[in-house]
Amino acid sequence: MKGFGGRRPRYCLTLVSGMVECLCFAGVLFGWASLVFVLKEDGYFGQYCEESSNSTASAPECSRQDEQFSLVFTIGSFLNNFMTFPNGYIFDRFGTTVTRLLGIFLYTTGTLLVAFSSAAFSEMLFPAMCCISVGGILLLITNMQVGNLFAGHRSTVITLYNGAFDSSSAVFLIFKVLNEQGISLRTSFLALSMCSVIHITRTFLLMPRSRIPYPLPEKFTYGHVNCGKENSYNVEKFERIKDEANQSKKENETDSALPQEGLAQSFKSCVLSWLFFWHLMWLSIMQLRHYLFIGTLNPTISRLANDDPDLVSKYTNAFAMTQLCGVLCAPWNGVIMDRHKGTPLAPGETEREVDLRSSVMSLFVTALQCVCFSVCASVPVLPLQYLTFALQVINRSFLYGGNAAFISMAFPSCHFGKLYGLIMSLSGVLSLLQYPCFALVKGVLGGDPLYINITLTGLTLLTFIHPIYVYIQCKKSAEKKAEQAVCQGTILAEASF
């Protein structure tokens, strides 16, 4: 941050306001377990409950109601991922302002749909949660570029924003608590929709029209209100000049084991690389594990608590409270990735190669966390779920923050929006498996998810392939550069004779 001068207060205000935006709005969908508790009390999808065939049972059979709530979350979480690719294209093509205005429109529409829904119109939850989900991810995408303003802490800022995105799921816990105090969901969601004024104000005062480039040009300024004109340095032109310089430099170098950054690495070559494929698998498997856990949390706790409403409320609140810690956990992953910043590079070594090498530890730790979380979630002991909640929020904050940071360092910045969107979209397709898994548990497995949990735990072991692959590629690249250095040294020595 050295040398920012008078721009430093604006940079810091952009950073803080972006974190508040992600923390309070962007990822509220993932507080679904808290919202479902209130929706059930208000009678949403109540028509799917049936009188139990067991004459001694006092409560009706509501498994079909649970399926409807699970389907709402499945579709919303799927679109949260799947629509990220077209959203990323919109961001890369049209810039920040257009993308944010679209996101604000969708988000506001979604909150208003929930506000004016009722038990008689429960189906309004489907389009409402879809709009909130897609609008929220658009806010996150446009905020992650703020990390480019702080080059020495870029990964830390990106992971911090993703942690705030995760923690925003606690907003629905606040709605649940307010509902218990007599404040209706309609009032809460109307208040949430009115906050769109804040998003619009921030769009025009603290965000660029196009994008924040990386690395940051000298005297870079941004914002619509900046002495009447934004000095954005024509980001596309800046990146084109930088890519041409990289291409010119590459023509004089031999190929390395890692894909080169610059004009030569097209969007297609990035997508077809093994680096992209294994990162996709790493994200998709762990994301499926988290989505299934969140989507089935309410019925799972109900089963373990023998349908005791007080216990279910207690554990639902505990889960939602742990989500607040996501914003505290995520930056540690960024610290792991940024730990090499400020240290001198080895001869012939690029900053990108060092970034990738430092990411190996982050990728491995995230995979290990997921295995531990999955094992705890598989044990049908109610008190153990406190530990499961803690491991889940730590792993989720590492997962999404690490995903965005890895894409930003492994591939050219000009493709970030498209690549981030594509990988989230493809992983979202796999996340659709959560609904058939839920239906399988409710049907064939008689409500016991043990076998599904064991299967998913086995799948999470495959995520260790990604850090191993990155480590091997970094090692090959380093060995190749060492061989080149030896050859050049030999040639110079022979020339001196």
Distances (CA, A) of 83 to 50, 97, 131, 418, 428: 36, 18, 11, 11, 9
pLDDT of residue 121 exceeding 50, the answer is yes
Highest mean pLDDT among 33-37, 54-58, 250-254, 375-379: 375-379
Query: What is the pLDDT, as a whole number, of residue 466?
Result: 94
The tokens for 446 are 């008689």
Query: pLDDT digits over 447-493, tens only?
Result: 778 888 899 999 999 999 999 999 898 888 777 776 766 676 666 65
Query: What is the pLDDT, as a whole number, of residue 225?
Result: 58
Residue 370's pLDDT band, with cuts at 50, 70 and 90, is very high
Query: What is the pLDDT, as a whole number, of residue 261?
Result: 46
Distances (CA, A) of 447 to 37, 86, 443: 19, 37, 7
Query: What is the pLDDT, as a whole number, of residue 228?
Result: 40
Distance between CA 16 and CA 405 in Å, rounded?
A: 19
Distance between CA 144 and CA 294 in Å, rounded?
A: 25
Highest mean pLDDT among 224-228, 316-320, 439-443, 463-467: 463-467
Q: What is the mean pLDDT of residues 142-168?
A: 84
Crossing angle of helices 274-295 and 434-442, in 10° steps, is 40
34-38, 376-380, 413-417, 422-426: the lowest-pLDDT one = 413-417
Distances (CA, A) of 486 to 251, 258, 454, 490, 493: 20, 20, 51, 6, 10
Residue type, position 494, single letter: E
pLDDT of residue 253 exceeding 70, the answer is no
Residue 130's pLDDT band, with cuts at 50, 70 and 90, is very high
The tokens for 187 are 């009032």
In the predicted model, what is the mean pLDDT of the chain?
81
**Residue 216 DSSP one-character state:** P
pLDDT of residue 436 exceeding 50, the answer is yes
